[in-house]
Amino acid sequence: MKNKTSIPSDILKIQKKLCEYEPNSRNFKKYKKILGKHIKKYAMLKRLNSNIKTIETIQKLEQGQI
């Protein structure tokens, strides 16, 4: 079973690649930008899943299933 709190492998790969470059180099800035996009996407997916669970729980409460 996959751990829900684990960091996705694509983010880890980008972080490892980012460590290879000197700060403020062209490649460092490029990978930093890519990493930011991946983290933002991951955070948005987590928020979306959380909101869906909340809505489902509220609907179950209204129907008296819980």
19 within some domain: yes
52 within some domain: yes
Quick one: DSSP state of residue 66? -
24 within some domain: yes
44 within some domain: yes
Can you state the percent helix, strand and coil of the chain, rounding each to 5? 75, 0, 25
pLDDT per residue over 6-61, tens digit each? 888 999 999 999 999 999 999 999 999 999 999 999 999 999 999 999 999 999 99
Whole-structure pTM value: 0.71
13 within some domain: yes
Range of the domain at 37: 9-63
Residue 6 pLDDT? 80
34 within some domain: yes
Look at the chain and report how many structural domains it folds into.
1
Residue with tokens 């079973």, as numbered in its chain = 1
Q: Among 49, 46, 35, which residue's Cα sits nearest to residue 5? A: 46
